[in-house]
A and B are shown apart, each in its own frame.
Chain A
Amino acid sequence: MAITVSRPKLNWRERLYLPAIVAGLAITFKHFKNLLLGRTKVTMQYPEQKWDGNLPDYYRGAPALVRDEDGRVRCVACQLCEFICPPRAIKIIPGEIDSTDRFAKVEKYPEAFDIDMIRCIFCGMCEEVCPEQAIFLRKDYAITGFTRADMVHHKEKLLEIGGVMHGVVLKWNKKK
Protein backbone atom coordinates (compact mmCIF):
# COMPACT_ATOMS: atom_id res chain seq x y z
CA MET A 1 0.00 0.00 0.00
CA ALA A 2 1.36 3.30 -0.91
CA ILE A 3 1.84 5.64 1.99
CA THR A 4 1.63 9.33 1.46
CA VAL A 5 4.26 11.01 3.54
CA SER A 6 2.87 14.30 4.71
CA ARG A 7 5.31 17.10 4.27
CA PRO A 8 5.50 19.80 6.91
CA LYS A 9 3.82 23.03 5.96
CA LEU A 10 6.41 25.77 5.85
CA ASN A 11 5.52 29.26 6.92
CA TRP A 12 6.58 32.18 4.80
CA ARG A 13 9.76 32.73 6.74
CA GLU A 14 10.90 29.17 6.20
CA ARG A 15 9.91 29.32 2.56
CA LEU A 16 12.11 32.32 2.05
CA TYR A 17 15.14 29.99 2.57
CA LEU A 18 17.35 32.93 3.42
CA PRO A 19 17.02 32.79 7.25
CA ALA A 20 17.90 29.10 7.18
CA ILE A 21 20.82 29.76 4.88
CA VAL A 22 22.12 32.52 7.13
CA ALA A 23 21.79 30.24 10.16
CA GLY A 24 23.76 27.58 8.34
CA LEU A 25 26.43 30.06 7.36
CA ALA A 26 26.69 31.14 10.98
CA ILE A 27 27.26 27.56 12.09
CA THR A 28 29.99 26.88 9.55
CA PHE A 29 31.62 30.20 10.34
CA LYS A 30 31.72 29.24 14.00
CA HIS A 31 33.64 26.11 13.09
CA PHE A 32 35.96 28.11 10.84
CA LYS A 33 36.65 30.64 13.56
CA ASN A 34 37.20 28.03 16.25
CA LEU A 35 39.75 26.23 14.14
CA LEU A 36 41.61 29.45 13.38
CA LEU A 37 41.66 30.31 17.08
CA GLY A 38 42.95 26.83 17.85
CA ARG A 39 39.89 25.86 19.88
CA THR A 40 39.00 22.87 17.76
CA LYS A 41 40.45 19.53 18.65
CA VAL A 42 41.80 18.12 15.42
CA THR A 43 43.00 14.66 14.72
CA MET A 44 46.48 13.43 15.57
CA GLN A 45 49.21 14.31 13.05
CA TYR A 46 50.13 10.76 12.27
CA PRO A 47 53.76 10.34 11.28
CA GLU A 48 54.91 12.89 13.84
CA GLN A 49 52.59 11.89 16.64
CA LYS A 50 51.91 8.24 17.26
CA TRP A 51 49.66 6.24 19.47
CA ASP A 52 52.10 3.35 19.73
CA GLY A 53 52.53 3.52 23.50
CA ASN A 54 48.81 3.09 23.98
CA LEU A 55 48.27 0.06 21.79
CA PRO A 56 46.49 -2.67 23.78
CA ASP A 57 48.19 -6.01 24.35
CA TYR A 58 45.71 -7.77 22.15
CA TYR A 59 46.51 -5.46 19.22
CA ARG A 60 46.79 -7.40 16.00
CA GLY A 61 49.74 -6.07 14.02
CA ALA A 62 52.18 -7.90 11.80
CA PRO A 63 52.58 -11.65 12.44
CA ALA A 64 56.07 -12.67 13.53
CA LEU A 65 57.97 -15.77 14.57
CA VAL A 66 59.36 -15.95 18.10
CA ARG A 67 62.23 -17.71 19.83
CA ASP A 68 61.95 -19.32 23.22
CA GLU A 69 64.07 -18.72 26.32
CA ASP A 70 66.87 -20.84 24.96
CA GLY A 71 66.99 -18.97 21.71
CA ARG A 72 65.49 -21.74 19.63
CA VAL A 73 63.05 -20.96 16.92
CA ARG A 74 59.79 -22.28 18.23
CA CYS A 75 58.25 -23.07 14.89
CA VAL A 76 58.32 -26.76 14.03
CA ALA A 77 57.13 -26.25 10.48
CA CYS A 78 53.89 -28.12 11.03
CA GLN A 79 52.32 -25.86 8.39
CA LEU A 80 49.03 -25.52 10.22
CA CYS A 81 49.23 -21.75 9.89
CA GLU A 82 49.93 -22.08 6.18
CA PHE A 83 46.71 -24.06 5.80
CA ILE A 84 44.55 -21.90 8.01
CA CYS A 85 45.66 -18.55 6.64
CA PRO A 86 42.55 -17.20 4.84
CA PRO A 87 44.37 -15.18 2.15
CA ARG A 88 47.18 -17.75 1.88
CA ALA A 89 49.83 -15.29 2.88
CA ILE A 90 52.17 -17.82 4.47
CA LYS A 91 54.56 -20.04 2.59
CA ILE A 92 56.65 -22.56 4.50
CA ILE A 93 59.33 -24.95 3.25
CA PRO A 94 59.90 -27.46 6.03
CA GLY A 95 63.35 -28.83 6.50
CA GLU A 96 64.73 -31.82 8.34
CA ILE A 97 66.97 -31.22 11.31
CA ASP A 98 70.52 -32.41 10.89
CA SER A 99 70.98 -35.98 12.16
CA THR A 100 73.80 -34.96 14.49
CA ASP A 101 71.51 -32.60 16.31
CA ARG A 102 69.90 -33.51 19.61
CA PHE A 103 66.50 -32.95 18.19
CA ALA A 104 66.91 -34.82 14.96
CA LYS A 105 63.93 -36.99 14.05
CA VAL A 106 61.82 -35.30 16.72
CA GLU A 107 61.17 -32.04 15.06
CA LYS A 108 61.19 -30.33 11.72
CA TYR A 109 62.25 -26.76 11.24
CA PRO A 110 61.18 -24.15 8.70
CA GLU A 111 63.82 -23.83 6.02
CA ALA A 112 61.96 -20.89 4.63
CA PHE A 113 59.08 -19.07 6.19
CA ASP A 114 57.62 -16.23 4.12
CA ILE A 115 54.63 -14.09 4.94
CA ASP A 116 53.45 -11.91 2.11
CA MET A 117 52.36 -8.75 3.88
CA ILE A 118 50.45 -7.57 0.83
CA ARG A 119 48.15 -10.51 1.38
CA CYS A 120 48.06 -10.71 5.15
CA ILE A 121 44.83 -9.38 6.61
CA PHE A 122 46.03 -9.36 10.21
CA CYS A 123 43.32 -11.81 11.19
CA GLY A 124 45.36 -13.65 13.79
CA MET A 125 44.31 -17.12 12.68
CA CYS A 126 47.93 -18.21 12.46
CA GLU A 127 48.53 -17.25 16.06
CA GLU A 128 45.40 -19.06 17.14
CA VAL A 129 46.12 -22.27 15.32
CA CYS A 130 49.80 -22.63 16.12
CA PRO A 131 50.33 -25.63 18.46
CA GLU A 132 53.78 -24.42 19.45
CA GLN A 133 52.94 -20.80 20.18
CA ALA A 134 55.55 -19.94 17.60
CA ILE A 135 53.81 -17.21 15.71
CA PHE A 136 52.36 -14.10 17.26
CA LEU A 137 50.82 -10.89 16.01
CA ARG A 138 53.01 -8.05 17.23
CA LYS A 139 52.33 -4.34 17.33
CA ASP A 140 54.01 -3.29 14.08
CA TYR A 141 51.42 -1.91 11.70
CA ALA A 142 53.32 0.42 9.36
CA ILE A 143 54.57 -2.18 6.90
CA THR A 144 55.83 -0.48 3.75
CA GLY A 145 58.01 -1.23 0.80
CA PHE A 146 58.85 -0.01 -2.66
CA THR A 147 58.30 -3.30 -4.46
CA ARG A 148 56.16 -6.38 -4.02
CA ALA A 149 59.26 -8.31 -3.07
CA ASP A 150 59.93 -5.80 -0.30
CA MET A 151 56.60 -6.62 1.21
CA VAL A 152 57.38 -10.31 1.74
CA HIS A 153 58.70 -10.92 5.21
CA HIS A 154 61.29 -13.70 5.21
CA LYS A 155 62.21 -15.84 8.16
CA GLU A 156 64.99 -13.55 9.41
CA LYS A 157 62.74 -10.53 9.30
CA LEU A 158 59.96 -12.41 11.06
CA LEU A 159 62.29 -13.54 13.81
CA GLU A 160 63.64 -10.04 14.15
CA ILE A 161 60.15 -8.60 14.62
CA GLY A 162 59.17 -11.44 16.92
CA GLY A 163 61.99 -11.48 19.41
CA VAL A 164 61.80 -13.78 22.44
CA MET A 165 58.52 -14.95 23.89
CA HIS A 166 57.99 -17.03 27.02
CA GLY A 167 55.09 -19.36 26.64
CA VAL A 168 53.47 -22.31 28.30
CA VAL A 169 54.04 -24.72 25.48
CA LEU A 170 57.52 -26.15 25.76
CA LYS A 171 59.43 -27.83 23.08
CA TRP A 172 60.99 -31.24 23.34
CA ASN A 173 64.10 -30.21 25.21
CA LYS A 174 62.40 -30.52 28.61
CA LYS A 175 60.95 -33.91 27.92
CA LYS A 176 64.14 -35.47 26.71
Chain B
Amino acid sequence: MTPESFLIITSLLKIVGILFIVILPMVSYAVYAERKVSAAIQDRLGPNRVGPAGLLQPIADMFKLLLKEDFTPRAANTFYYWLAPCLAVMPAIITIAVVPFGSTLFGVPMVIADVNVGILFVFAIASLGVYGIVIGGWASNSKYPFLGGIRSSAQMLSYELSLGLAVIPVFLLVGNLRLTSVVRYQIEHGWFIAPFIGDWTNPWKWLLTIPMIVSFIVFTIAIFAETNRLPFDLPEAEQELAGGYNTEYSSMKFSLYFLGEYAAMITGSAVIVTLFFGGWHLPGIPDGSHGWIFGLINIAVFFAKVAIIIFFFMWVRWTLPRFRYDQLMRLGWLFFFEIALVNIFVVAAIVPFIQ
Protein backbone atom coordinates (compact mmCIF):
# COMPACT_ATOMS: atom_id res chain seq x y z
CA MET B 1 0.00 0.00 0.00
CA THR B 2 1.35 3.39 -0.94
CA PRO B 3 1.66 5.98 1.83
CA GLU B 4 -0.98 8.12 0.14
CA SER B 5 -3.65 5.45 0.01
CA PHE B 6 -2.76 4.44 3.56
CA LEU B 7 -3.28 8.02 4.66
CA ILE B 8 -6.59 8.29 2.83
CA ILE B 9 -7.91 5.01 4.21
CA THR B 10 -6.87 5.70 7.79
CA SER B 11 -8.28 9.23 7.61
CA LEU B 12 -11.58 7.92 6.33
CA LEU B 13 -11.66 5.31 9.07
CA LYS B 14 -10.93 7.97 11.66
CA ILE B 15 -13.61 10.29 10.31
CA VAL B 16 -16.24 7.58 10.22
CA GLY B 17 -15.17 6.20 13.58
CA ILE B 18 -15.01 9.48 15.42
CA LEU B 19 -18.15 10.91 13.86
CA PHE B 20 -20.52 7.98 13.85
CA ILE B 21 -19.22 5.95 16.75
CA VAL B 22 -18.25 8.71 19.13
CA ILE B 23 -19.54 12.20 18.39
CA LEU B 24 -23.09 11.60 17.17
CA PRO B 25 -24.03 9.09 19.89
CA MET B 26 -22.33 11.37 22.36
CA VAL B 27 -24.48 14.27 21.16
CA SER B 28 -27.70 12.35 21.56
CA TYR B 29 -26.65 10.99 24.91
CA ALA B 30 -25.54 14.44 26.00
CA VAL B 31 -29.19 15.44 25.63
CA TYR B 32 -30.15 12.46 27.76
CA ALA B 33 -27.43 13.30 30.27
CA GLU B 34 -28.57 16.88 30.39
CA ARG B 35 -32.06 15.77 31.29
CA LYS B 36 -30.79 13.34 33.88
CA VAL B 37 -28.39 15.84 35.45
CA SER B 38 -31.00 18.58 35.55
CA ALA B 39 -33.43 16.14 37.10
CA ALA B 40 -30.95 15.08 39.76
CA ILE B 41 -30.13 18.68 40.59
CA GLN B 42 -33.80 19.52 40.92
CA ASP B 43 -34.59 16.39 42.96
CA ARG B 44 -36.40 14.66 40.14
CA LEU B 45 -35.74 11.39 38.34
CA GLY B 46 -35.66 12.48 34.72
CA PRO B 47 -36.46 10.20 31.79
CA ASN B 48 -36.87 6.65 33.08
CA ARG B 49 -39.59 5.10 30.94
CA VAL B 50 -38.00 4.18 27.62
CA GLY B 51 -35.69 1.27 28.15
CA PRO B 52 -33.73 0.61 31.34
CA ALA B 53 -33.22 3.89 33.22
CA GLY B 54 -34.59 5.67 30.16
CA LEU B 55 -31.51 4.85 28.12
CA LEU B 56 -33.45 4.53 24.88
CA GLN B 57 -34.99 7.97 25.32
CA PRO B 58 -32.75 9.70 22.72
CA ILE B 59 -33.88 7.19 20.11
CA ALA B 60 -37.51 7.74 20.98
CA ASP B 61 -36.93 11.49 20.84
CA MET B 62 -35.40 11.14 17.41
CA PHE B 63 -38.41 9.24 16.12
CA LYS B 64 -40.70 11.82 17.59
CA LEU B 65 -38.84 14.65 15.91
CA LEU B 66 -38.71 12.77 12.59
CA LEU B 67 -42.44 12.29 12.62
CA LYS B 68 -43.27 15.91 13.37
CA GLU B 69 -44.54 18.14 10.62
CA ASP B 70 -41.69 20.00 8.96
CA PHE B 71 -43.27 23.40 8.80
CA THR B 72 -41.96 26.41 6.89
CA PRO B 73 -43.70 29.70 7.68
CA ARG B 74 -45.06 31.41 4.58
CA ALA B 75 -43.32 34.69 5.37
CA ALA B 76 -39.93 33.02 5.80
CA ASN B 77 -37.14 33.22 3.28
CA THR B 78 -37.19 29.58 2.33
CA PHE B 79 -33.63 29.19 1.09
CA TYR B 80 -31.96 30.69 4.13
CA TYR B 81 -34.55 29.18 6.40
CA TRP B 82 -33.46 25.75 5.20
CA LEU B 83 -29.79 26.58 5.11
CA ALA B 84 -29.50 27.94 8.65
CA PRO B 85 -29.88 24.71 10.65
CA CYS B 86 -27.15 23.08 8.55
CA LEU B 87 -24.90 26.04 9.19
CA ALA B 88 -25.55 25.67 12.89
CA VAL B 89 -24.58 22.04 13.11
CA MET B 90 -21.70 21.77 10.64
CA PRO B 91 -19.03 24.00 12.22
CA ALA B 92 -19.40 22.24 15.54
CA ILE B 93 -18.69 18.89 13.93
CA ILE B 94 -15.94 20.10 11.61
CA THR B 95 -13.97 21.60 14.48
CA ILE B 96 -13.36 18.21 16.03
CA ALA B 97 -11.13 17.39 13.05
CA VAL B 98 -8.10 19.19 14.45
CA VAL B 99 -8.47 18.10 18.06
CA PRO B 100 -6.19 15.19 18.98
CA PHE B 101 -8.47 12.71 20.70
CA GLY B 102 -5.82 10.08 21.36
CA SER B 103 -2.13 9.40 20.99
CA THR B 104 -1.58 6.77 18.33
CA LEU B 105 -3.26 3.51 17.51
CA PHE B 106 -1.16 1.00 15.51
CA GLY B 107 1.14 3.89 14.65
CA VAL B 108 -1.64 6.04 13.24
CA PRO B 109 -1.94 9.41 15.00
CA MET B 110 -5.36 9.80 16.50
CA VAL B 111 -6.21 13.16 15.04
CA ILE B 112 -8.12 13.57 11.82
CA ALA B 113 -6.16 16.57 10.51
CA ASP B 114 -3.03 17.62 12.32
CA VAL B 115 -2.87 21.06 10.75
CA ASN B 116 -0.30 23.58 11.89
CA VAL B 117 -2.89 26.33 12.36
CA GLY B 118 -4.80 24.16 14.83
CA ILE B 119 -6.38 26.63 17.19
CA LEU B 120 -6.94 29.24 14.48
CA PHE B 121 -8.86 26.66 12.53
CA VAL B 122 -10.98 25.98 15.59
CA PHE B 123 -11.79 29.66 16.06
CA ALA B 124 -12.37 30.27 12.38
CA ILE B 125 -14.80 27.41 11.97
CA ALA B 126 -16.47 27.60 15.36
CA SER B 127 -17.36 31.24 14.86
CA LEU B 128 -19.18 30.28 11.66
CA GLY B 129 -21.72 28.67 13.96
CA VAL B 130 -23.13 32.11 14.67
CA TYR B 131 -24.27 32.38 11.05
CA GLY B 132 -26.60 29.47 11.60
CA ILE B 133 -28.26 31.38 14.39
CA VAL B 134 -28.24 34.83 12.81
CA ILE B 135 -29.50 33.61 9.43
CA GLY B 136 -32.06 31.38 11.10
CA GLY B 137 -33.28 34.30 13.17
CA TRP B 138 -33.47 36.59 10.19
CA ALA B 139 -34.94 34.14 7.69
CA SER B 140 -37.77 33.13 10.01
CA ASN B 141 -39.18 36.63 9.50
CA SER B 142 -40.61 36.78 12.97
CA LYS B 143 -39.96 38.98 15.99
CA TYR B 144 -38.51 36.63 18.54
CA PRO B 145 -36.12 34.75 16.29
CA PHE B 146 -34.96 38.09 14.96
CA LEU B 147 -34.18 39.38 18.45
CA GLY B 148 -32.44 36.10 19.20
CA GLY B 149 -30.31 36.45 16.09
CA ILE B 150 -29.32 40.01 16.96
CA ARG B 151 -28.41 39.07 20.48
CA SER B 152 -26.42 36.14 19.23
CA SER B 153 -24.31 38.20 16.86
CA ALA B 154 -23.56 40.83 19.51
CA GLN B 155 -22.72 38.17 22.06
CA MET B 156 -20.41 36.26 19.74
CA LEU B 157 -18.62 39.42 18.77
CA SER B 158 -17.88 40.34 22.37
CA TYR B 159 -16.81 36.92 23.50
CA GLU B 160 -14.82 35.83 20.49
CA LEU B 161 -12.25 38.43 21.47
CA SER B 162 -11.72 37.20 24.99
CA LEU B 163 -11.80 33.66 23.67
CA GLY B 164 -8.90 34.38 21.36
CA LEU B 165 -6.95 36.42 23.87
CA ALA B 166 -7.39 33.87 26.64
CA VAL B 167 -5.54 31.15 24.76
CA ILE B 168 -2.56 33.28 23.75
CA PRO B 169 -0.73 32.46 27.02
CA VAL B 170 -0.94 28.78 26.13
CA PHE B 171 0.67 29.39 22.79
CA LEU B 172 3.27 31.73 24.25
CA LEU B 173 4.49 28.72 26.17
CA VAL B 174 4.09 26.09 23.48
CA GLY B 175 5.54 28.14 20.66
CA ASN B 176 3.26 26.95 17.87
CA LEU B 177 -0.41 26.62 17.12
CA ARG B 178 -0.56 22.90 16.43
CA LEU B 179 -2.86 21.23 18.93
CA THR B 180 -0.80 18.05 19.03
CA SER B 181 2.21 20.11 20.12
CA VAL B 182 0.08 21.62 22.88
CA VAL B 183 -0.56 18.14 24.17
CA ARG B 184 3.11 17.13 23.76
CA TYR B 185 4.20 20.21 25.68
CA GLN B 186 1.80 19.45 28.49
CA ILE B 187 3.07 15.89 28.74
CA GLU B 188 6.61 17.16 29.14
CA HIS B 189 5.95 20.23 31.31
CA GLY B 190 2.75 19.47 33.20
CA TRP B 191 -0.83 20.37 32.35
CA PHE B 192 -1.51 24.04 31.81
CA ILE B 193 -4.11 24.13 34.53
CA ALA B 194 -1.40 23.01 37.00
CA PRO B 195 2.00 23.65 35.40
CA PHE B 196 3.89 22.95 38.62
CA ILE B 197 3.19 19.22 38.48
CA GLY B 198 6.44 17.32 38.05
CA ASP B 199 8.45 20.48 38.75
CA TRP B 200 7.47 21.18 42.35
CA THR B 201 10.54 23.17 43.34
CA ASN B 202 10.44 25.73 40.57
CA PRO B 203 8.78 28.90 41.99
CA TRP B 204 8.22 30.29 38.50
CA LYS B 205 6.04 27.33 37.68
CA TRP B 206 3.96 28.08 40.74
CA LEU B 207 3.73 31.70 39.71
CA LEU B 208 2.67 30.65 36.24
CA THR B 209 -0.29 28.77 37.69
CA ILE B 210 -2.14 31.99 38.55
CA PRO B 211 -2.30 33.46 35.04
CA MET B 212 -3.00 30.01 33.61
CA ILE B 213 -6.01 29.57 35.87
CA VAL B 214 -7.22 33.06 34.98
CA SER B 215 -6.77 32.17 31.36
CA PHE B 216 -8.68 28.94 31.87
CA ILE B 217 -11.57 30.69 33.59
CA VAL B 218 -11.84 33.36 30.91
CA PHE B 219 -11.62 30.78 28.16
CA THR B 220 -14.24 28.54 29.73
CA ILE B 221 -16.64 31.41 30.28
CA ALA B 222 -16.11 32.54 26.70
CA ILE B 223 -16.86 29.00 25.53
CA PHE B 224 -20.08 29.12 27.52
CA ALA B 225 -21.01 32.27 25.66
CA GLU B 226 -19.84 30.84 22.36
CA THR B 227 -21.98 27.72 22.70
CA ASN B 228 -25.02 29.65 23.96
CA ARG B 229 -25.17 27.80 27.21
CA LEU B 230 -26.65 29.25 30.32
CA PRO B 231 -25.84 31.70 31.94
CA PHE B 232 -25.28 33.17 28.47
CA ASP B 233 -28.09 31.63 26.49
CA LEU B 234 -29.53 35.00 25.54
CA PRO B 235 -30.12 34.10 21.87
CA GLU B 236 -32.33 31.27 23.03
CA ALA B 237 -33.77 32.75 26.22
CA GLU B 238 -36.74 30.46 26.48
CA GLN B 239 -38.61 32.67 28.91
CA GLU B 240 -38.01 35.98 27.17
CA LEU B 241 -37.91 35.05 23.50
CA ALA B 242 -39.87 31.80 23.46
CA GLY B 243 -36.86 29.89 22.18
CA GLY B 244 -35.21 32.74 20.29
CA TYR B 245 -33.76 31.86 16.92
CA ASN B 246 -35.42 28.45 16.81
CA THR B 247 -38.95 29.59 17.61
CA GLU B 248 -40.21 29.03 14.07
CA TYR B 249 -38.43 25.75 13.51
CA SER B 250 -39.95 22.34 13.87
CA SER B 251 -39.16 18.70 13.22
CA MET B 252 -35.66 17.79 12.02
CA LYS B 253 -34.65 21.40 11.43
CA PHE B 254 -35.26 22.13 15.07
CA SER B 255 -33.41 19.02 16.11
CA LEU B 256 -30.47 20.06 13.93
CA TYR B 257 -30.23 23.25 15.98
CA PHE B 258 -30.52 21.20 19.08
CA LEU B 259 -27.81 18.78 17.98
CA GLY B 260 -25.67 21.71 16.86
CA GLU B 261 -25.81 23.17 20.33
CA TYR B 262 -24.71 19.93 21.93
CA ALA B 263 -22.10 19.21 19.30
CA ALA B 264 -20.70 22.68 19.92
CA MET B 265 -20.62 21.92 23.60
CA ILE B 266 -18.72 18.70 22.98
CA THR B 267 -16.16 20.31 20.71
CA GLY B 268 -15.85 23.21 23.14
CA SER B 269 -15.12 20.78 25.95
CA ALA B 270 -12.69 18.90 23.74
CA VAL B 271 -10.80 22.13 23.07
CA ILE B 272 -10.75 23.00 26.77
CA VAL B 273 -9.43 19.55 27.58
CA THR B 274 -6.77 19.81 24.91
CA LEU B 275 -5.61 23.26 25.92
CA PHE B 276 -5.69 23.05 29.69
CA PHE B 277 -6.12 19.48 30.86
CA GLY B 278 -3.41 17.72 28.93
CA GLY B 279 -5.57 16.26 26.16
CA TRP B 280 -5.41 12.49 26.19
CA HIS B 281 -2.57 12.41 28.73
CA LEU B 282 -2.99 10.93 32.17
CA PRO B 283 0.14 10.75 34.33
CA GLY B 284 1.48 7.21 34.47
CA ILE B 285 -0.15 5.98 31.29
CA PRO B 286 2.23 5.75 28.32
CA ASP B 287 1.13 6.71 24.82
CA GLY B 288 0.06 4.41 22.04
CA SER B 289 3.56 3.56 20.87
CA HIS B 290 3.82 1.15 23.82
CA GLY B 291 0.99 -1.04 22.57
CA TRP B 292 -2.47 -0.60 21.12
CA ILE B 293 -4.11 -1.11 24.49
CA PHE B 294 -2.53 2.12 25.71
CA GLY B 295 -3.68 3.84 22.55
CA LEU B 296 -7.23 2.85 23.39
CA ILE B 297 -6.81 3.93 27.00
CA ASN B 298 -5.58 7.33 25.82
CA ILE B 299 -8.71 7.76 23.73
CA ALA B 300 -10.87 6.69 26.66
CA VAL B 301 -9.05 9.14 28.94
CA PHE B 302 -9.65 11.96 26.52
CA PHE B 303 -13.38 11.31 26.26
CA ALA B 304 -13.66 10.80 29.99
CA LYS B 305 -12.18 14.25 30.50
CA VAL B 306 -14.54 15.67 27.89
CA ALA B 307 -17.44 14.05 29.70
CA ILE B 308 -16.38 15.66 32.96
CA ILE B 309 -16.25 19.09 31.35
CA ILE B 310 -19.64 18.48 29.77
CA PHE B 311 -20.99 17.60 33.17
CA PHE B 312 -19.60 20.89 34.41
CA PHE B 313 -21.41 22.70 31.59
CA MET B 314 -24.68 21.11 32.62
CA TRP B 315 -24.06 21.65 36.28
CA VAL B 316 -23.55 25.37 35.67
CA ARG B 317 -26.62 25.53 33.48
CA TRP B 318 -28.85 24.20 36.22
CA THR B 319 -27.33 26.44 38.85
CA LEU B 320 -27.06 29.95 37.49
CA PRO B 321 -29.77 32.27 36.27
CA ARG B 322 -29.37 34.00 32.93
CA PHE B 323 -27.40 37.23 32.71
CA ARG B 324 -29.15 40.35 31.61
CA TYR B 325 -28.13 41.57 28.19
CA ASP B 326 -26.29 44.69 29.42
CA GLN B 327 -24.56 42.69 32.14
CA LEU B 328 -23.39 40.25 29.53
CA MET B 329 -21.95 43.00 27.37
CA ARG B 330 -20.33 44.74 30.31
CA LEU B 331 -18.79 41.49 31.47
CA GLY B 332 -17.44 40.72 28.04
CA TRP B 333 -16.03 44.09 27.14
CA LEU B 334 -15.08 45.60 30.48
CA PHE B 335 -13.80 42.58 32.37
CA PHE B 336 -12.85 39.57 30.35
CA PHE B 337 -11.29 41.50 27.53
CA GLU B 338 -9.03 43.45 29.92
CA ILE B 339 -8.27 40.47 32.11
CA ALA B 340 -7.29 38.38 29.12
CA LEU B 341 -5.14 41.18 27.76
CA VAL B 342 -3.28 41.77 31.03
CA ASN B 343 -2.90 38.05 31.42
CA ILE B 344 -0.94 37.82 28.20
CA PHE B 345 1.64 40.32 29.50
CA VAL B 346 1.91 38.53 32.82
CA VAL B 347 2.58 35.22 31.13
CA ALA B 348 4.98 36.85 28.70
CA ALA B 349 6.92 38.19 31.68
CA ILE B 350 7.13 34.76 33.26
CA VAL B 351 7.97 32.78 30.13
CA PRO B 352 11.70 33.71 30.00
CA PHE B 353 12.24 32.32 33.48
CA ILE B 354 10.89 28.90 32.86
CA GLN B 355 12.60 28.03 29.62
Residues of A that sit less than 8 Å from B by CB: 21, 24-25, 27-29, 31-32, 34-36, 40-43, 45
A-B contact pairs, 19 of them (CB 8 A): A21-B319, A24-B319, A25-B315, A25-B316, A25-B319, A28-B318, A28-B319, A29-B41, A29-B315, A31-B41, A31-B42, A32-B40, A32-B41, A32-B315, A34-B43, A35-B40, A35-B41, A40-B43, A42-B45
User: How many CB-defined contacts (below 8 Å) exist between A and B?
Assistant: 36
Across-interface contacts of B39 in A (CB, < 8 A)? 35
Whether B315 pairs with A28 at a CB distance below 8 angstroms is yes
Q: Chain B: which residue is nearest A42 at the CB level?
A: B45
Whether B41 pairs with A28 at a CB distance below 8 angstroms is yes
In the bound complex, CA of A35 to CA of B48 (Å): 14
Whether A32 pairs with B319 at a CB distance below 8 angstroms is no
In the bound complex, CA of A83 to CA of B316 (Å): 56
In the bound complex, CA of A118 to CA of B320 (Å): 41
Whether B40 pairs with A36 at a CB distance below 8 angstroms is yes
Q: How large is the interface on B (under 10, 10 to 19, 20 to 34, 35 or more residues)?
A: 10 to 19
7 closest residue pairs by CB, A with B: A35-B40, A28-B319, A32-B40, A28-B41, A24-B319, A40-B43, A32-B41
Given A35-B40, A45-B45; 10 other pairs, CB 8 A cutoff: A21-B320, A24-B319, A24-B320, A25-B316, A29-B41, A32-B40, A36-B40, A42-B44, A43-B44, A43-B45
Binary A-proximity of B54-76 (CB < 8 A = 1, otherwise 0): 00000000000000000000000
Across-interface contacts of B99 in A (CB, < 8 A)? none
Residues of B that sit less than 8 Å from A by CB: 37, 39-45, 315-316, 318-320
Across-interface contacts of B42 in A (CB, < 8 A)? 31
Q: Chain A: which residue is nearest B43 at the CB level?
A: A40
Q: Chain B: which residue is nearest A30 at the CB level?
A: B41
Please tell me which one of the listed residues A24, A31, A43, A45 contacts residue B40 in the complex, with CB atoms under 8 A apart.
A31
In the bound complex, CA of A34 to CA of B43 (Å): 8
Q: Chain B: which residue is nearest A21 at the CB level?
A: B320
In the bound complex, CA of A153 to CA of B311 (Å): 50
In the bound complex, CA of A91 to CA of B274 (Å): 71
In the bound complex, CA of A45 to CA of B44 (Å): 11
In the bound complex, CA of A27 to CA of B315 (Å): 11
Please tell me which one of the listed residues B43, B315, B318 contacts residue A35 in the complex, with CB atoms under 8 A apart.
B43
Across-interface contacts of A40 in B (CB, < 8 A)? 43
Rounded to whole Å, the gap between the CB of A42 and the closest CB of chain B is 5
Across-interface contacts of A35 in B (CB, < 8 A)? 39-41, 43
Across-interface contacts of B316 in A (CB, < 8 A)? 25
In the bound complex, CA of A34 to CA of B39 (Å): 12
In the bound complex, CA of A29 to CA of B40 (Å): 9
In the bound complex, CA of A31 to CA of B37 (Å): 10
In the bound complex, CA of A116 to CA of B165 (Å): 67
Rounded to whole Å, the gap between the CB of A37 and the closest CB of chain B is 10
